[in-house]
Structure 1
Amino acid sequence: MSRDRSQLLTAIERGEREGGSVEFKERLSKDVHLSDGRLESLTAQLRHRVLSGDGEAEYVVGVTDEGGIAGVSRDVFSESMDVLSLLAEEAGAHIDDVQTWGTDEGGLVGVATLRDGAALTPDDDHIIVGTAGHVDHGKSTLVGSLVTGDADDGDGGTRGFLDVQPHEVERGLSADLSYGVYGFDDDGPLRVRNPDRKDERAAVVENADRVVSFVDTVGHEPWLSTTIRGLVGQKLDYGLLTVAADDGPTKTTREHLGVLLATDLPSMVAITKTDLVSEERAMEVTREVERLLRDVGRTPLPVARHGVDVAVEEIGDNVVPVVQTSAVSMEGLDVLDELFERLPKTAAAGGEFRMYVDRTYKVTGVGAVASGTVKSGTVEAGDELVLGPFPDGEFRDVEVRSIEMHYHRVDHAEAGQIVGIALKGVREQDVERGMVLLPKGSDPTPVREFEAEVMVLNHPTRIDAGYEPVVHLETVGEAARFDPADGQLLPGDTGETSVRFKFRPYLVEEGQRFVFREGSSKGVGTVTNVPE
């Protein structure tokens, strides 16, 4: 929080007045202030304030109509900023800066500076890193310390902002995908100092020359399918596997490594929690990881021995850099910083726009929002798209109302960026994970069945005709029937099989890779033929 209250006191002293550029709001609520009629009037009010200030206005949030300090909770302040951002977009303006101060009662009061003109278009180099690792191996904590620059308290304190559900925070276990972001400019890392502030994440996207987004997956065995979704369904540039020095590689470590390798994702390994063990134990676990990598045909590259230059040059092509780290002592985090600043983007940006839907939600006053990673091409606000397939196999026309990346409104998005796209022409309850957004005029043909080459990684007996695992392809997670061409597949076998979705069609294309799982059975595959 800003310690200097001069901006707040000056704004309150200037006060609300006709023809002025200051507006007082105790709070802004999506349910109330974005309802029918209110959106238009508040947008007009905001536009008036910006014009009255020659292109700049100040909204003081957490004060009464008379300018008295009321204070609001962090959640209310965050929602107020979301609403203000939507109002600003409607008025052709954007939030340029937000300063907050604490009240004696523990609440927040803040001043948001708005400027004329739409949100800036990001012109950054953007890489996406998918994390994996066994539960309690420090995966989310490591990401938290990277994006904030803060050492952990030894109890997972820096991981808290990545958990998106109340029960996750309470239990200390992630149960769904979560996201983090930081970046780099000419002066070094740009951290998110206060992760609860969505505007700080947006500022990273706006100001960084290189943006690093983390897709933080789930380490607990019951949610392995969610981890697979995060690693297969996002257009990742790199994988980051964590192994705790006080525990070493586990069965889950091997499973997550198998998924990373099955997707041909250039990956690295972070040995975490080195502050809890002796140097000898840390080296013992490092050697275990190196043996594990060699067992699956990969070459470990200890960065401490060979240096960052070699790691950047050699990652991929079967080479896996290994770094010892501690979120408590901050050991090795400078090495990861340098890697993430220098590693080249691997996702190609060309081709026709395509985004598989991973999440959906509704914003009052905006409507349905589809979230996911842009797989190819570019998309702009105002573009006409098609969305589907719906259960009947049809695609429907939709229009892009707005695009947001890490709470920053952008004019366009391109391949490899995680975005939320507000859609006009569809209800939120009709948008489902596994659907895809394509340019209008496309002629997509969804299918129920396709041919694939699969490799069985683990199975207790054999796979016969009629076997029904869950197939994870892009963001699709659907039960499907296998009918092997040779009648059966044994553990370790590679062979051809037909794959038929059990309940509905999806958009599938040759060359797409997928993971299948059923109980302890797991395997990987590649689509080889999609019938007309």
Structure 2
Amino acid sequence: MSPDRAVLRRALDRGEREGGSVEFKERLTEDLHLSEGRLESLAAQLRHRVLSGDGEATYVVGVTDDGGLAGISPAEFSESMDVLSLLAEEAGAHIEEVKTWGVDGVSEDGATVTDGIVGVATVSEGSVLADDDHIVVGTAGHVDHGKSTLVGSLVTGDADDGEGGTRGFLDVQPHEVDRGLSADLSYGVYGFDEDGEPIRMDNPHRKDDRARVVEASDRLVSFVDTVGHEPWLRTTIRGLVGQKLDYGLLTVAADDGVTETTREHLGILLATDLPTIVAITKTDLVDAERVAEVERSVEQALREVDKTPLRVARHGVDTAIDEISETVVPVVTTSAVTKAGLDDLDEMFEALPKTAGEVGDFRMYVDRTYNVQGVGAVASGTIKSGEVEAGDELLLGPMQDGSFREVEVRSIEMHYHRVDEAKAGRIVGIALKGVREADIERGMVLLPSDADPSPVQEFDAEVMVLNHPTRIGDGYEPVVHLETVSEAAAFYPEGGQLLPGDAGKARVRFKFRSYLVEEGQKFVFREGSSKGVGTVTDTDPAE
């Protein structure tokens, strides 16, 4: 028996008994278990189980009353988790973790279920974090400037070994670990208790450890760790533009200093009006004179883009917290090896207010997709506005033909922690009923079922050319990065051309298909060494 399956065996051995914290359920259905009177009764039962377990109950689903393995279909298990989530919410609790195993079983009509599922759901006392108590930070910086290492040390509290050991907590692909280079977005999380003390991860590779941090924290900090290597700039742009970030964290290595990539990433951060902190890393490798030299070069780079640098060592953390904005950029010196400066970052992240989160109806652009046994298709991303709950009916699209498909929210997870609802600014995975994982694409959007979306293939924008070897003329085709959309598009500048450094109007037309684009959205465009930024001004341009 595998260690994971041992969890099931222990729950079955403990058994369902009066005054205990374990409950056996073969299946939960919306029609039966959420009916008037039944919901209140089952919520009271759940509350009793949670109290009996000192704040934690175990629900074993897909078993008979005596603990026999019945096995239910994936659809039945998903519905059972939906119902359990609503019961938990009614009881002032939430589902913290779900583990599943495949078994053979028999359906209600007597047919054999060869892909039957048995699951163990851990239900914990308390509701999810308040919306204002979760900030999302996006990292950026040149390759080997210590982004992932710094984040790894922050979320674990461990000093780095000087070889980037703590960055291994964030890399998920074998080639990333072997080469020491991130190739995709990574996610880290840590939090703070009610007294402001950090709650860190013991082993970030374990899903239940991340869930523990989410559960125990009164204040949560999520990191979207991007890629510094030039060939993966597209992925970095996706992380900074496609996520609903509260703050940016730009790293500059003390032994290397400000590079062209540093300036490029800084431009992307500031073009999206994101309040940003600059962390000078690897100060353990150089002397104080070199650190001061890099500080001056960072300040110069900030002033060149009309930003005001604020040295945290000189002005203090409290001033940095009060003054950080779209124009004021705190600069802090750090070392993941000696842990210098990490306390300053802790203080800032514990106190900085949430900045992201638009008012209005629910909206989430899809960044990644998964297929999870017993759950089905999962779309993940950052909620741009509004809120979503398990059981909500949504629209997903646009599909290739521009249409939207009706789907239903099976369940919601945040850093492997199951939640009943989530609000703007949260990074979540939403399990969807009514669609296959293969039909969901990055760049699609989830909206309320009563929305009336109008996807477009072209729009007008105000653009600025940051870098180009010659000029941009009619038909210029860069890749446009807007929210999580990354699509080739043709540009038609007003007046026929734009030179490097120019700002002006342009018609932008996606090359292959339509997307949901809204006025005011910011985007980055890139083609080779050519780069620029823009803001959507009209989604229904006149011919």
Q: TM-score, normalized by length of structure 2?
A: 0.80
CA distance in 2: counterparts of 1:268 and 1:359, whole angstroms: 27
Mean alpha-carbon deviation: is it higher for 121-130 or for 288-297?
A: 121-130
Alpha-carbon distance between aligned partners in 1 of 2:163 and 2:300, rounded to the nearest angstrom: 30
Per-residue CA shift, 1:351-370, capped at 9, x if unaligned? 11000000001101111100
Moved more, 149-158 or 114-123: 114-123
CA deviation digits over 1:298-318, x for unaligned, max 9? 111100000111111111141
**Residues 1:432 and 2:441 aligned together:** yes
Q: Letter of the aligned partner of 1:438 in structure 2?
A: L
Amino acid at match of 1:491: P
Deviations 1:29-71 (A, max 9, x none): xxxxxxxxx999xxxxxx99999998546799xxxxxxxxxxx
The aligned length equals 470
1:165 Cα offset (Å): 1.4
Residue in 1 aligned with 2:496? Answer: 487
Tell me by how many angstroms 1:15 deviates: 4.8
Residues 84-99 of structure 1 correspond to what in structure 2 (within 5 A)? none
Q: Residues 464 and 17 from structure 1, CA distance in 2 versus in 1: closer, same or farther, beyond 3 angstroms? A: closer
Rounded Cα–Cα distance in structure 2 between residues aligned with 1:274 and 1:87: 53
Change (3 A) 1:114 1:471: closer
- Give yes or no for the alignment of 1:135 onto 2:146: no
1:284 and 1:426, CA in 2 relative to 1: closer, same or farther beyond 3 A? same
Equivalent AA in structure 2 for residue 320 of structure 1: V
- SS at 2:394's partner residue? strand
Identity of aligned residues (%): 71
Aligned ranges for residues 47-446 of structure 1 at < 5 Å? 56=53, 120-123=127-130, 125-187=133-195, 188-446=197-455
Worse-matched range after superposition: 240-249 or 344-353? 344-353
TM-superposed CA distance for 1:346, in Å, is: 0.7
Distance 1:52 1:531 in 2: 56
SS at match of 2:232: helix
SS of the residue 1:231 aligns to: helix
Name the SS of the counterpart of 2:211 in structure 1.
helix
Aligned AA for 1:523? Answer: G
Matches of 2:176 and 2:134, distance apart in 1: 28
State the 4+ residue runs in structure 1 displaced beyond 3 angstroms: 11-23, 47-60, 84-98, 112-120
**Is the CA contact (8 Å cut-off) linking 2:273 and 2:326 kept in structure 1?**
no
Match of 1:102 in 2: none
Secondary structure of the equivalent of 2:401?
A: coil
SS in 1 for 2:184: coil
Q: Helix, strand or coil for the counterpart of 1:194?
A: coil
Match of 2:103 in 1: none
Tell me how far 1:87 sits from its aligned partner.
8.2
- Aligned-partner SS, 1:283: helix
- Judged with a 3 Å threshold, the aligned counterparts in structure 2 of structure 1 residues 12 and 282 are, in CA distance, closer, same or farther, namely same
Structure 2 residues without counterparts, runs of 5 or longer: 1-5, 29-42, 61-76, 89-93, 99-118
Other-structure match for 1:104: none
RMSD: 3.1
Unaligned runs of 5+ in 1: 1-7, 24-37, 41-46, 61-83, 99-111
Task: Give yes or no for contact 2:97–2:123 (8 Å, CA) kept in 1.
Answer: no
Whole-angstrom CA distance in 1 between matches of 2:303 and 2:79: 51
Contact kept, 8 Å, 1:357 with 1:372, in 2: the verdict is yes
After superposition, the Cα gap between the structure-2 partners of 1:525 and 1:116, relative to the gap in structure 1 and judged at 3 Å, is closer
Report SS of the residue matched to 2:167: helix
CA contact (8 A) 1:456 1:491 kept: yes
- Judged with a 3 Å threshold, the aligned counterparts in structure 2 of structure 1 residues 95 and 530 are, in CA distance, closer, same or farther, namely closer
Match of 1:360, SS state, is strand
Shift of 1:14: 11
Contact kept, 8 Å, 1:357 with 1:433, in 2: the verdict is yes
Residue 186 of structure 1, CA deviation: 2.4
CA distance in 2 between counterparts of 1:12 and 1:265 reads: 48
Going from structure 1 to structure 2, the CA distance change for 1:484 and 1:186 (only over 3 Å counts) comes to: same
1: CA distance, partners of 2:46 / 2:483 = 45
Letter in 2 for 1:158: T
Task: Pick closer, same or farther for the CA change 1:13–1:261 going to 2, 3 Å.
Answer: closer
Given that residues 394 and 409 in structure 2 are in contact (C-alpha distance below 8 angstroms), is that contact kept between their aligned partners in structure 1? yes
Counterpart position of 1:69: none
Is the contact made by 1:133 and 1:139 (CA closer than 8 Å) also made in structure 2? yes
Deviations 1:133-169 (A, max 9, x none): 1111110000010011111111111111211212111
The structural deviation recorded for 1:228 is 0.4
Query: Is this contact kept in 1: 2:169–2:203, CA < 8 A?
Result: no
Contact 1:468 1:480 in 2 (8 A): yes
Secondary structure, counterpart of 1:523 in structure 2: strand
TM-score w.r.t. structure 1 length?
Answer: 0.82
| Mapped partners of 2:139, 2:353: distance in 1 | 18
Deviation at 1:129, TM superposition (A): 0.5
CA distance in 2, matches of 1:86, 1:176: 33
Shifted more, 11-20 versus 228-237: the winner is: 11-20
